[in-house]
Amino acid sequence: MTGRVGIALAGMILLVTNVVATAEDVPVGVGVIQWHSLPKLPDAHGLAGPFAGKIGGSLVVAGGANFPEAPPWEGGKKVWHDRIFVYSVEQNSWIVSETRLPQSLAYGVSLTLPGRASVVVLGGSNQENLPTTTAMELRLVSGNVTLTELPPLPVPLAEMSGEAIGNTLYLFSGRTSKKTSQTLFKIDLDSIKPQWEALPWPGEARGRMHSIAGRQGGKLYWFGGRDRMSEGSIPFSEDRMEPEGLDFLRDCYSFDPATSEWERLADLPVGLSAAPSPAVSAGEAHLLLLGGVTVDFLKEQLKARPELNGQGHEHPGFPKTIWGYHTVTNTWAPVDEIPAEFEAPVTVPVVMADANAFFIPSGEIKPGVRTRQVIRGQVESNRASFGVVNWIVVAVYLLAMVAIGYGFMRRASAASTDAYFRGGQRVPWWVAGLSIFATMLSAITFMAIPAKAYSENFNFWIGQWAMVLIVPLVVLFYLPYFRKLNITSAYEFLENRFNLASRLVASALFMLFHVGRVAIVLYLPALALSSATDINIYAAILAIGLLCIIYTVMGGIEAVVWTDAIQAVVLLGGALLCLLIVIFNLDGGMGTLVSIAGEDGKGLVADWNGLDFSSSTNSGWVIFLGFLFASLPSYTAGQDVVQRYVTTPSEKDAARSLWLNLPMALLGSLLFFGLGTALYAFYKTQPELLDPTLERNDGILPFFILQNLPVGVAGLIVAGIFAAAQSTISSSLNSVATAFVTDYYGRILKPHSPDASRLAVARRIVIVLGLVVIVLASWIAATGIKSAFDAFNTFIGMALGPVGGMFFIGVFVKRASGAAALIGAVVGFLTVLTLHFARQAGAIDLWPILNGMISFVVTVVVGTLAGLSKRSAVSLEGG
């Protein structure tokens, strides 16, 4: 066993060495974009208003306009083009395609559709500067460009903006022949007969030209632009350009395609138009506007060279400020500038290359002047290095937890199955209570709940109120049965009450659920690690997972519950410290926090007057019931929690541990939800501190910790996250091993096996299961589940809901038989499985957390009705 400690120590040293070696490469700064030049566009002057997109490994640029003979202030004539250029990333060179557009076009919208391996060209003006109804799709076939016509636009449009979600295209406003259009059009190219349709318009918004579109989190965004000068007033009088007859606009909007609803957003800091569009989508919540034309800048240039209408070779080029919009806090902040060695182009499309990377092909860099430059940008992180001192703290802390497990092993706390699974029933009640709290919440609490409050509101705290019903229910009705039967596995109760089949089915469902739960709990601290440092998330999953396996194999349940208790204190203390630091750093302190939470709807804003069961529910009763039935099975039928009930010396001690857990669950969750709201207020008032590349909102807390906490303290709290996950994972691995050995190996496979064999099997189960969940956690990271908190609660309904229903029937429905309970469980499981697939197919919109309530209720109702056909009341002592 000493060898295992040595392996753990060596693993931590290697992890620290890896991070220390790479720490110097972590980019530091605010919203740094790395810029690179590509071969110049094969046009003598460059193009404004071209169409562009990415097809496979090729960048396609088509159309555009320029002044090939002379600049406009020297009488040069503007010319529209129909040529198509193709850049091969692999060959790093351009070719001029033999294919041409059907007519010369510029200043329309082009969108890349990876799912169709194509680029769509929409609208634009022709050589006469008249808008068109053009709609076509460009593809590359054996290196040649092919054109396919699409349904024409409903009205001629140019100088509009657009975006795509999947293969559905959206067009915002634009210029018609005589005015700007107040329209939002949509077409779904996947439909049998694609047709354009008009969508609702935000009533207060003016039509506009050269606006900037964007896409983030399934929503569309629409920023700025300019309109022909109206006779009425505008919110900011300085945004009116009298000589040009233009109003520059600051108002911004978001559009939710799922509900067809608009939302007015925070105004741009300046009146802005013609920035490269669409906006660059960075991370999970940022949209970046790369330069653009501001009214103040145009006024300055007109004043400097009135004889040239502000144009001329002396023009300094367009502004280079990059504005970042954060979709969660609804704030704007300057995040970077286009460097001096690059021009700042306008009236040009942005082409996304891959995650956080983009192309800007050509564009207009001064009035009447184009550029041949083609640039590639990569949005880099502004996260700070974790640092050697923090890593030393992490290593010492985690090894201390392993040492605790080793110490209990030396005390023979894991020398028999009774000691390994029940701790000799000598665990103090307050330790068991802290352990229940840490087991149920742990890293999921520390990471996902603050992220939920940060990105949404306080409503999910309502779910914790269910503990007021759950704890008395367990203490009065369930706990006496568990203690009287002197069980090791919770599912022994089902065999005693019903039959062996019900025990085996329930135990299997529990183990299935915990494989998913452990994978998510392993993923969360790995996310914290990758969010805080530049270590690969998969390497983090592997390192933490292996350490957990070693710890769990080495220690028994007594070591687990004592380390759980330590983690509970560390988690609560760390959360409280973070909350105090946030409040201290807010200008106005607690008053500002309360004010922002109230103004932005970040508190309890649930609707208690209706019942909405959709995934976007705001119904207080639905949230309460959803979490009631999501939590009840864990406290009444989950081996990991029930196992704590039988580690204490008496039933009275077990009850006291549950009563301790009640205020901890309510106040602890309140602390974590409050912390998430505080983080929202902190970054709303200081949006320039946000990391544009943060891939998941679940990583906002570790990002804050590394950014704002002192060296060493940050390491201690991050170590607490890892260790909390370690204790929760070890608890789950231990409980799964307990269930398998007690319910299957010792009951079915090897009923006469010696205790030493059962203990050896338990340890082997821990190793195998640990390796499986490492693979599953890596899959979760790869698929980018939007919220680990939602995913976790989906698992609960699938597996634990029917098990909880069987226990409920066993305790309260004396006429039900084992067959009836099993029928109910099967129907309950199949019901939520059917609903899950229906939801995935888009047939229904049902909040996933309700899976637990549905499966529980269906199991109880069907099992009870099935039991009415045959009286089967059984005493607690009966089989």
Which of the 8 DSSP states describes residue 788? H
Amino acid (1-letter code) at residue 701: L
Would you list the DSSP string of 791-850?
HHHHHHHHHHHHHHHHHHHHHH-TT--HHHHHHHHHHHHHHHHHHHHHHHTTS----TTH
Q: Which of 321, 355, 379 is the last residue of a domain?
A: 379
Contact 172, 277 (CB under 8 A): no
Comparing 384 with 15, which gets the higher pLDDT? Answer: 384
Torsion angle, alpha carbons of 287, 290, 292, 294, to 10: 70
Contact 272, 250 (CB under 8 A): yes
Which ranges in 357-499 belong to alpha helices (H)?
388-410, 417-422, 429-440, 442-455, 467-473, 479-485, 492-497
Same domain, 182 and 286: yes
Same domain, 273 and 398: no
CA angle 384, 385, 388 (to 5 degrees): 150
pLDDT band at 15 (very low <50, low <70, confident <90, very high): very low
Structure tokens at 104: 């010369």
Q: Which of 784, 814, 843 is the last residue of a domain?
A: 784
Same domain, 79 and 204: yes
pLDDT at position 7 is 40
pLDDT at position 848 is 83
Contact 592, 433 (CB under 8 A): no
- Neighbouring C-beta atoms of residue 300, cutoff 10 Å: 12
pLDDT band at 630 (very low <50, low <70, confident <90, very high): confident
Rounded to the nearest integer, the mean pLDDT of the chain is: 86
pLDDT at position 837 is 84
CA–CA separation, 184 and 203 (whole Å): 12
Residue 612 lies in a domain: yes
pLDDT at position 871 is 52
Task: Give the burial class of 779: count Cβ atoms within 10 A of its Cβ; 0-12 exposed, 13-18 middle, 19 or more buried.
Answer: exposed
CA–CA separation, 803 and 502 (whole Å): 9
Same domain, 135 and 263: yes
Order of all β-strands in the sheet with 240-241: 226-228, 246-248, 240-241
Beta bridge partners of 525: none
Residue 687 lies in a domain: yes
Residue 121 lies in a domain: yes
CA–CA separation, 120 and 19 (whole Å): 44
The highest-confidence range among 102-116, 395-409, 440-454, 522-536, by mean pLDDT, is 102-116
Residue 813 lies in a domain: no
Structure tokens at 638: 């989950």
CA–CA separation, 394 and 400 (whole Å): 10
Q: Residues 182-235: pLDDT tens digits? A: 999 999 999 999 999 999 999 889 999 999 999 998 999 999 999 988 755 677
Comparing 724 with 692, which gets the higher pLDDT? Answer: 692
Same domain, 46 and 123: yes
pLDDT at position 406 is 73
Query: Pairing relation of β-strands 58-62 and 65-66?
Result: unpaired
373: pLDDT strictly greater than 50: yes
Q: CATH no. for residue 752?
A: 1.20.1730.10
Same domain, 392 and 372: no
Q: Report the run of H or E that residue 61 belongs to, with start and end.
A: strand 58-62
Rounded alpha-carbon distances, angstroms, from residue 632 to 39, 486, 642, 717, 792? 63, 22, 12, 30, 15
Same domain, 223 and 330: yes
Same domain, 459 and 496: yes
Q: CATH no. for residue 88?
A: 2.120.10.80
Same domain, 473 and 536: yes
Question: What's the length of the chain?
Answer: 879
Residue 830 lies in a domain: no
Q: What is the mean pLDDT of residues 532-555?
A: 77
pLDDT band at 307 (very low <50, low <70, confident <90, very high): low
Amino acid (1-letter code) at residue 480: P
Q: Residues 815-862: pLDDT tens digits? A: 889 999 999 999 998 998 898 888 878 889 888 888 889 999 999 999
Q: What is the mean pLDDT of residues 25-49?
A: 77
CA–CA separation, 710 and 413 (whole Å): 38
Dihedral pair phi/psi, residue 723, rounded to 5°? -70, -35
- Neighbouring C-beta atoms of residue 491, cutoff 10 Å: 29
CA 405 to chain centre: 34
Residue 398 lies in a domain: yes
pLDDT at position 16 is 42
Q: Which of 352, 379, 406 is the last residue of a domain?
A: 379
CA–CA separation, 47 and 53 (whole Å): 15
pLDDT at position 12 is 42
877: pLDDT strictly greater than 80: no
End-to-end, the C-alpha distance of the chain in Å comes to 42
10: pLDDT strictly greater than 50: no
Residue 288 lies in a domain: yes
Output the pTM of the full model. Answer: 0.86
Q: Could you tell me what percent of the chain has a pLDDT over 70?
A: 90
Same domain, 242 and 317: yes
Supply the range of the domain harboring residue 295. 33-379
Comparing 84 with 243, which gets the higher pLDDT? Answer: 84
Contact 133, 149 (CB under 8 A): no
870: pLDDT strictly greater than 70: no
Residue 868 lies in a domain: no
Same domain, 361 and 482: no
- Neighbouring C-beta atoms of residue 667, cutoff 10 Å: 11
Q: Residues 445-499: pLDDT tens digits? A: 778 889 889 999 999 999 999 999 999 999 999 999 899 988 889 999 999 999 9
414: pLDDT strictly greater than 60: no
Comparing 8 with 578, which gets the higher pLDDT? Answer: 578
Q: How many domains does the chain have?
A: 2
Amino acid (1-letter code) at residue 456: E
238: pLDDT strictly greater than 90: no
Order of all β-strands in the sheet with 184-188: 161-165, 168-172, 184-188, 197-199
Same domain, 129 and 204: yes
Q: Residues 762-778: pLDDT tens digits? A: 889 989 999 999 998 88
Q: What is the mean pLDDT of residues 561-569?
A: 83
